[in-house]
Structure 1
């Protein structure tokens, strides 16, 4: 396990969210609203819809270009969690074998369509969430969901969890480095070491959490997290959400792929 690499990846995501681009400068509340409506629109498509979902990839392309987000960064993380949904959807072709249509003489069943639809919906929803996190600081996201009346205790737990991930990862990285320096003849780290690492890390995390809590109390912490002053939405924020919601509406209810396909068939005939 390469802790240095994992820590770098975690830090890279955090640094990526603080870039200065058009997408990064859009208010977090606006981006959260847009992402929620986007996900609702995607999952609301019928279970056999596949081609109708394709236009929604234009959002990812647009955001990754304007937000300067590497394509491989997004889709590597989509790929990491994809096995879970893949093994859920893989049974559909076997359970629903009724033929929907023929493609070059090959029968395409409704099960295959539902399988592809689930995968496409998964990629769309997960990638838009990753892009949202990559273009918005975690503190900004927490401020946004707190603005929408999410319980403050839940928001505080998210903030603590996110900040403490870096502390724990750094602590684990120091322990692994110490082990490697003391056993340079070993090519790898055995399973027994990782068992001890988990136990020691738990003890150290409890001690560290206690010290952090006392440090917060000494600085005036009373159970409420201070937040930045409320930011007013500007013209670019309103324009962004207006265009995004309008585009989502058009893609969802007018289904441009189907309309273009029918138009082409009519022209050919």
Structure 2
């Protein structure tokens, strides 16, 4: 039950961050979505053996988190959850790609380990950018921005419904698990009991969805969520998007880490 409660609290905290009033929060959601999507595309476009050239791209999530005043520990903690999954994918690479690229002292480093490190770095970059985007924008605003950028309305509505009623589902699951624990008297529940609990939760979700649907029809729902805040794509948004796109293009065309290494080598004797 602790994991369910922690999940709900984590989602609510992220939603609270999106209600802050900073310069990055006041930007139109479409500008932040476009910049984040461009960031993800550029990061994904690098060669599978690229690691050092990806490191300068950390400037994007770091700057956005700083402007949005998001706690570093919160962002790092949530991003760290994805690292084991990225490692689970990348750890197979050393088994199939055993060509030695260089030696670290007496230890040979194969291409598989480099591609594994590249996968982890990409996962951290993309996940942190997506998490910070939601933290400085809000999930409903992101869905609305995607719809205004061309996403099918049906898909945007499904994403918003999922987010809006995820808290309700988590609360129902928390109460059900708590009731099971009280009736188990500290013993581990049997598999049939757990299956019955899951079926009961599914049935309650089905009934609640039917009641919500009838309530929305009674309130003249026609397939639109009317946002309280209407965004305006002005000069600030244009400068925000153009500035980041220019930086991404430069970092993609030139290896900033290599240039920095050459510069340090010339300065230091």
Global fold match (TM > 0.5): yes
| 1:203 equivalent in structure 2 | 203
- Structure 2 counterpart of 1:91: 92
Which structure 1 residue ranges, 5 or more long, are not aligned? none
CA contact (8 A) 1:17 1:24 kept: yes
Report what 2:216 is aligned to: 216
2:256 is aligned to 256
Does 2:47 match 1:46? yes
Q: Secondary structure at the match of 2:50?
A: coil
Match of 1:70 in 2: 71
State the 1:62 CA deviation. 1.3
Unpaired runs of 5+ residues, structure 2, are none
Aligned to 1:109: 110
Shift in CA distance, 257/20, structure 1 to aligned 2, threshold 3 Å: same
| Offset at residue 205 of structure 1 (A) | 0.8
Structure-2 change in CA distance of 1:210 and 1:31 (3 Å) = same
SS at match of 2:157: helix
CA distance in 2, matches of 1:76, 1:159: 25
Deviates most, 57-66 or 153-162? 57-66
Residues 214-240 of structure 1 deviation map (CA, whole Å, 9 limit, x = unaligned): 111111113344345753223322222
Q: Are the equivalent residues in 1 in contact too, given 2:31–2:237 (CA < 8 A)?
A: yes
> CA–CA distance in 1 between the matches of 2:63 and 2:257?
19
Contact 2:82–2:123 under 8 Å retained in 1: no
With the length of structure 2 as denominator, give the TM-score of the two structures. Answer: 0.90
Distance 2:234 2:190 in 1: 54
Hey, what's the Cα distance between the residues in 2 that align with 1:85 and 1:138?
24
TM-score, normalised with respect to structure 1: 0.90
Q: Do 1:172 and 1:197's aligned partners in 2 also have CA atoms closer than 8 Å?
A: no
Match of 2:240 in 1: 240
Separation (CA, whole Å) in 2 of partners of 1:226 and 1:197: 36
- Residue 148 in 1 paired to residue 149 in 2? yes
- Contact kept in structure 2, 1:92 and 1:112, CA below 8 Å: yes
Q: Which residue of 1 aligns with 2:25?
A: 24
Number of equivalences: 267
| Greater mean alpha carbon deviation, residues 244-253 or residues 2-11 | 2-11
Task: Indicate if the aligned counterparts of 1:168 and 1:205 stay in contact, CA closer than 8 A.
Answer: yes
Shift of residue 104 of structure 1? Answer: 3.5
Question: Could you say if the C-alpha distance between residues 99 and 127 of structure 1 is closer, same or farther in structure 2, counting changes exceeding 3 Å?
Answer: same
Q: Give secondary structure in 2 for the equivalent of 1:34.
A: helix
Residues 264/104 of structure 1: CA separation in 2 closer, same or farther (3 Å cut): farther
- 1:79 paired to 2:59: no
| Residues 89 and 115, structure 1, Cα contact 8 Å, conserved in 2 | yes
Give structure 1 regions of 4+ aligned residues with deviation exceeding 6 angstroms: none
Identify if the C-alpha distance between structure 1 residues 202 and 217 changes in structure 2 by more than 3 Å, giving closer, same or farther: same
Cα distance in 2, alignment partners of residues 151 and 16 from structure 1:
27
With 148-157 and 18-27 compared, the bigger mean Cα shift is at 18-27
Aligned-partner Cα distance in 1 for 2:47–2:6: 41
Measured on the aligned residues, the alpha-carbon RMSD in Å equals: 2.2
**CA deviations over 1:232-259 (Å, ceiling 9, x no partner):** 2233222222221121112111221111
